[in-house]
């Protein structure tokens, strides 16, 4: 008798998105499992080896931007809008174009290795692992975007959870049974699980080689070009600190820094991307951008403080399961929490402007171009001076600079646009 009214109330509370509850919960579980696996690897292989693991991952994330060129973002928009008969061409063109770009970048990276390895402070073997990981991550993200664009949310969420569980089981076996402490083993396992995800995902969509189109490829690349520039800027801004630290600090400091800074960022990503983002992004896409940006500006101090407090409390739990190689220092954790709080505010501005199409992307590119020199200079100066501590200070300052620039420029641009409309 009462089940129907209860279902109706729940449906109204979810705004008609009740279908998304289980896929969202499975996606959060998958991301949480992946984060727990990385934490377990950090515990098992030690700070120095985990520093190498994180360095390879950081370089791979930067390279992925060039391989993917934000085509996964384009698929989120284009596939739902396309007619059913046009979708195989979209999928095939995006897939083959991305694989060609990825293969080309791998070849270019290997040919340029004599110049790249001294510049990055790594050896050729590390570069090869980074390129392989980047290619596997590119395939993973693109095929996931196909499934989400085709609205196969339950399938993709279940697949993510299954692959994450496989990675966790493999890592646990290597750590607890075989006692492996070599970072390369876990990097190889991560590459394999990314490839497995992509291969299984292919069963969820049609690939028709003859439907590949050069004109469609150009159109897709133009569509993703602006957001690719934004992704490139953010990848460098939030990846250069690891490269600087690897250059000026011991390998163990790189591993410790990745725990103080990397795990809170990953936790933030799980909460926003898999949780809040499910509702936040669609809302921002249709919301009045001037009102949304004003609201973010008003709430920014409270959001930064709340996120910093949450990060400080949650991150302390990480250190309870880690070895003595990762010393817990409240002062360092407080610095990390401040950076995470500011990073949350920056992400909110990023989301709001990203959901305003080309105009918002152009604003972001201008802001990132303006703020990057000062931010990167801070990172280089503080990390060369104070190593691990300097890296945490530089991360906070980087986000403070970006928030200040984005808030000022966005307010000016959108206020001007509003005035033009009113006139």
Crossing angle of helices 47-68 and 214-237, in 10° steps, is: 150
379, two tokens = 């990172």
Q: Which residues 6+ apart lie within 8 Å of 144 measured at CB? A: 72, 156, 160, 197, 201
Contact 375, 396 (CB under 8 A): no
At residue 91, the 3 state secondary structure works out as helix
Regions of the chain where pLDDT drops below 50: 1-2, 6-7, 9-11, 13-15, 278-279, 282, 418-423
User: Tokens for 61?
Assistant: 């994330």
Instruction: In whole angstroms, give the CA distance from residue 10 to residue 218.
Output: 44
The pLDDT value recorded for residue 23 is 76
Q: What pTM was computed for the model? A: 0.76
> d(Cα 229, Cα 219) in Å, to the nearest integer?
16
Check if the beta carbon of residue 258 is closer than 8 Å to that of residue 251: no
Please report where in the chains the tokens 């697949």 appear, as a residue. Answer: 159
Is 156:147 a contact under the CB 8 Å cutoff? yes
pLDDT of residue 421: 43
Number of neighbours of residue 243 by Cβ within 10 angstroms? 21
Distance CA 176, CA 321 (A): 15
Helices 47-68 & 87-111 angle (0-180, nearest 10)? 130
Where b means 16+ CB within 10 Å and e means fewer, 97-126 reads bbeebbeebbeebeeebeebeeebebeeeb
Q: Which residue's structure tokens are 């403070």?
A: 400
User: What phi and psi, each to the nearest 5 degrees, are found at residue 14?
Assistant: -85, 0
In DSSP notation, 54-68 reads HHHHHHHHHHHHHHH
Helix (H) and strand (E) counts in the chain: 17, 0
pLDDT reported for residue 10: 42
| pLDDT at position 11 | 47
Question: In the numeric block, which tokens belong to residue 239?
Answer: 């990846």
The residues near 388 (Cβ < 8 Å, ≥ 6 apart) are 245, 249, 253, 256, 257, 260, 332
The pLDDT, as a whole number, for residue 393 is: 95
């Amino acid at each position: 008798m009462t089940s129907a009214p209860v279902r109706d109330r729940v449906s109204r509370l979810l705004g008609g998105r009740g279908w998304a509850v289980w896929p969202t919960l499975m996606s959060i579980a998958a991301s949480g499992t992946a984060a727990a696996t990385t934490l377990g690897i950090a515990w098992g292989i030690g700070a120095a080896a985990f520093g190498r693991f994180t360095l390879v991952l950081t370089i791979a994330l930067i390279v992925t931007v060039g391989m993917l060129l934000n085509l996964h973002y384009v698929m989120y928009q284009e596939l739902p809008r396309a007619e059913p008969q046009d979708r195989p061409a979209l999928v095939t063109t995006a897939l083959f174009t991305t694989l060609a770009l990825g293969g080309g970048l791998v070849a270019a990276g290997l040919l340029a290795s004599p110049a790249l390895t001294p510049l990055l402070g790594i050896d050729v073997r590390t570069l090869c692992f980074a390129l392989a990981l980047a290619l596997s991550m590119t395939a993973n993200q693109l095929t996931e975007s196909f499934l989400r664009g085709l609205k196969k949310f339950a399938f993709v969420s279940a697949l993510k959870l299954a692959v994450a569980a496989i990675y966790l089981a493999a890592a646990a076996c290597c750590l607890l049974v075989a006692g492996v402490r070599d970072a390369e083993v876990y990097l190889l396992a991560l590459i394999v699980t990314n490839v497995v995800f992509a291969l299984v995902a292919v069963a969820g969509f049609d690939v028709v080689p003859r439907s590949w189109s050069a004109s469609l490829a150009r159109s897709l690349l133009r569509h993703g070009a602006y957001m690719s520039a934004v992704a490139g800027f953010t990848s460098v801004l939030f990846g250069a600190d690891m490269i600087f630290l690897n250059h000026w600090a011991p390998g163990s400091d790189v591993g410790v820094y990745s725990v103080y800074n990397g795990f809170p960022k990953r936790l933030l990503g799980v909460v926003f991307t898999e949780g809040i983002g499910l509702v936040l992004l669609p809302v921002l896409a249709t919301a009045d951008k001037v009102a949304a940006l004003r609201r973010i500006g008003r709430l920014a101090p409270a959001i930064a403080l709340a996120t910093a407090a949450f990060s400080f409390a949650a991150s302390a739990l990480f250190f309870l399961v880690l070895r003595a190689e990762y010393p817990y220092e409240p002062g360092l954790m407080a610095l990390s929490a401040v950076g995470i709080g500011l990073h949350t505010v920056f992400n909110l501005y990023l989301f709001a402007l990203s959901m305003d199409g080309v105009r918002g992307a152009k604003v972001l590119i201008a802001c990132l171009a303006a703020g990057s020199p000062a931010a990167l200079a801070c990172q280089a100066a503080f990390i060369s001076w104070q190593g691990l501590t300097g890296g945490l200070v530089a991360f906070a300052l980087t986000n403070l600079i970006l928030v200040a620039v984005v808030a000022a420029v966005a307010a000016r641009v959108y206020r001007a646009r509003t005035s033009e409309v009113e006139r």
